[in-house]
A and B are shown apart, each in its own frame.
Chain A
Amino acid sequence: MTDAYYITAADLAAKGFENTPDELMSHKHMIYSSPATLDFNSPGAKGFGVKRAGLAIPGSVMLLVAPGCCGRNTALLNELGYNERFFYLLLDDTDIVTGRHLTKIPKACREVCESLDYTPTAVMICITCVDALLGTDMERVCRKCEDETGVPTVPAYMYALTREKRLPPMAGVRKSVYSLLKPQKRISNECNILGYFSHVHDDSELYDLLHSAGIKKVRELSRCSTIDEYHDLSRANFNLVINAEARYAAQDMEKRLGIPFIELTRMYRLDKIRNQYRLLGQALGAEFDDDKYYDKAKTAVDNFISKHGKISAAVGECVNADSFELALALTEYGIKVSEIYGTVGERNFVFIKKLAQVSPDTRIFSNLSPTMLNYERKTDIDVAIGVDAGYYHPDLPCAQFNTEEQPFGYEGVERLLAELDEALAKEEKK
């Protein structure tokens, strides 16, 4: 039996992105359902997939139009209180070949609306691979549903088949959830943060810095509890995009609503965070004073290293970070990163190149490779970071660092180190 495949950062960087080994390219092999794979293929009670994300509009409900298998795990969301908001129109074997179900959708929408004792703000219609292959014009079906019910109806495409396309499902659903916004007068001192389906942690310095630049109101979709608050999102003077998956939604908002956007990257290297804030300040015509946040985070790093010394970590991708950027940051702080479980892409290859210089022996595994079934630890690791890393090392302390609320900036670094410290402290107690 083949051992779990890995390549060192040095070897991968030397090959270059164009020559990434097949074992790290998901379309070249079968897909292993590691926790990381499940995180995007079947998010459960935690995490957001298309179904849960599609319900981000306050007061909306979802009609899933699909074979039973596609909606099966929705039961996991019941414990979060979503069972009142999901409805299903199940397709049979004739439907999926002939597409005859399309004529039933408006009636099903009417039944959804009539079964509720309130009028939903929107009906999201979630369709799956079946309709991707049938070439269903869902915009047209949604218009018919609106005629039938008078309720805005929006498609949410859960097309797993297109996951590696220009517009993967999670980017598409971000566009869907902002699509009901209407143009209105923009207010110069208001902005939105786009990126995730949960908001940034309240104590992130990002809010303070924006306020210091004269921004009075910072809005996020997940903080909207009413449809009126949702519609206020189109008052923003600009959008801050903190996750590339929201770029398409931001482009659409720019085109439809005239709201420009600025893109930031979530990082864990202090100097890079500082540099990004400097550039953001320039773009906003303000000079951010981030010294106190920088110093606090730097102190947290120094304290952590002096307390724990040169520990070794394994970094996964079920984590609120890009695993390669995080590994690079940890290495620069003085933590040895022995292994990374991640998905190599063009965007993060730049981090791998840098990692190759400072930690050439770091082993890079793919969470999707069938060989991970045979994974055995063969390096020194003191702590796992990420749900998937914890799965591979159930005997080690683990900082999952995977909360729904999102870390960002210096606060993210402090939060990570606090979680790591807590995980290591638990181990010491044992």
Chain B
Amino acid sequence: MKKFLRYISPLAPDDSGACSVLYELGGITVICDAGGCAGNVCGFDEPRWFTKKSALFSAGLRDMDAILGRDDRLVAKLALAQQQLERDFTAIVGTPVPAVIATDYKALERMAEKKTGVPCITVQTDGTKLYDKGEEEAYLRLFKTFAKEKLPTRKGTAAVIGATPLDTGFITADTIVSQIKAEGFEEVKCIGFDSGLDEVKNISRFEKIFVISPAGIRAGNYLKDNFSLDVEVHGCPLPGEYTDKLKDLRTGGRTLIIHQQMTANAVRDIIGDSTCGTFFMLDKTAAQEGDFHIKDEEDLAEKAKGFDLIIADISLKRALPEYKGEWFDLPHFAVSGRTFQ
């Protein structure tokens, strides 16, 4: 049965992805929900919740707020929070509740900006899609709102888009920054990961933009089109010790890597001939021939047939009870909530 999960828990949803991008940017992020969605983000999908403070709140909607469409109350609460916390911007992230009642996000955005006096971005997630869709929209909305002009290019600088704990399995940007620096850059910033809103505003100063997950591709294209930036898809950095283990891996027969496309590409670069399968966005510019998208558990069981080695999050193994080949664990936070650390 389609959309029926027997073995694995639901994957990280779009609202978690949007929050992950916004988390460190210093704004007030409001999840437009009754509490459960914010609970899922802060209590599970955001490993930084207990180490880095962020003004990430639930709107605390109640049934009559939703039924009567009391957007004015939501905006009043947002204005109160802004008055108390004085942040540079606000963001409203959608969930199933505003999707069911067809909330007018554009109106909400205007009302919020008028009431708080700071920019507001809305991300129209609905909790039914996967995290990369939410990240994709959040990156795009951020750059469209805050990156206003082409700044002079600073040589030796690189910015990374698509680096979130959900994509990378890291809770700090250290590994990514050090690996990109090792490629010859003096200054490397991961957007929204150990960096703030200034890097979003000044994105056009970077000599190079690396996109390390499919969620960043549309934003990368936007920056290329609007600021003529040098944007390149890049394999998602892996921890050094994990890379060493991969190098020691014997890979006879057919190998399947399951992750987000750019992490799978990075693994493929190390182990050689292999196929990437992903539950998330399959971007043609980053994919190789034979790579495929996985729709659900049923589809995974079908497409995993014939592979001798699977490199994927170990939690997925349960979904393949018939699989008799080898398995090499590749943590994916958006799947199991496990980091590399």
Contacts and interface: CB of A to CB of B under 8 A. Distances in A.
Interface in B15-54: 15-16, 28, 30, 33-45, 49-50, 53
A33 B49 contact: yes
B128 A128 contact: no
A42 B44 contact: yes
A83 B336 CA distance: 12
Given A44-B44, A69-B95, A96-B128, A108 B4 contact: yes
A207 interface: no
Nearest to B64: A161
A413 interface: no
Nearest to A99: B100
A97 B77 CA distance: 27
A181 interface: no
B44 A1 contact: no
B104 interface: no
Given A27-B60, A108-B4, A133-B100, A88 B9 contact: yes
B337 A87 contact: no
Interface string A107-119: 1100110010000
Interface of A: 1-2, 26-33, 37-38, 40-42, 44, 66-76, 78, 83, 86-93, 95-97, 104, 107-108, 111-112, 115, 128-130, 132-134, 158-165, 368, 370-371, 373-374, 391
Nearest to B30: A30
B182 interface: no
A75 B302 CA distance: 24
B9 A107 contact: no
B21 to A, nearest CB: 16
A97 B96 CA distance: 9
A96 B84 contact: no
A86 B101 CA distance: 29
B26 to A, nearest CB: 12
Q: Top 9 A-B pairs ranked by shortest CB distance?
A: A42-B39, A41-B39, A69-B127, A160-B34, A69-B13, A42-B43, A33-B42, A68-B10, A30-B57
Given A78-B315, A83-B7, 19 more contacts: A26-B60, A31-B38, A31-B58, A33-B56, A42-B42, A42-B44, A69-B37, A69-B95, A69-B127, A71-B10, A72-B45, A83-B318, A87-B4, A92-B128, A93-B129, A97-B100, A129-B96, A132-B63, A160-B33
9 contacts: A29-B60, A31-B58, A66-B96, A69-B14, A69-B96, A70-B10, A128-B96, A162-B63, A163-B34
Q: What is the interface of chain B mostly: helix, strand, loop, or mixed?
A: mixed
B81 interface: yes
Interface residues of B, number: 67
A112 to B, nearest CB: 8
B249 interface: no
B84 A164 contact: no
Contacts of B83: 2
Contact of A163 (B14, B35, B45, B78): B35
Contacts of A164: 62
Contacts of A371: 84-85
A1 B85 contact: yes
Given A1-B85, A42-B42, A370-B85, A161 B97 contact: yes
B163 interface: no
A29 B82 CA distance: 11
B13 A72 contact: yes
Given A28-B77, A86-B9, A37 B96 contact: no
Given A73-B43, A74-B9, A129 B36 contact: yes
B187 to A, nearest CB: 30
A318 to B, nearest CB: 13
A198 B335 CA distance: 30
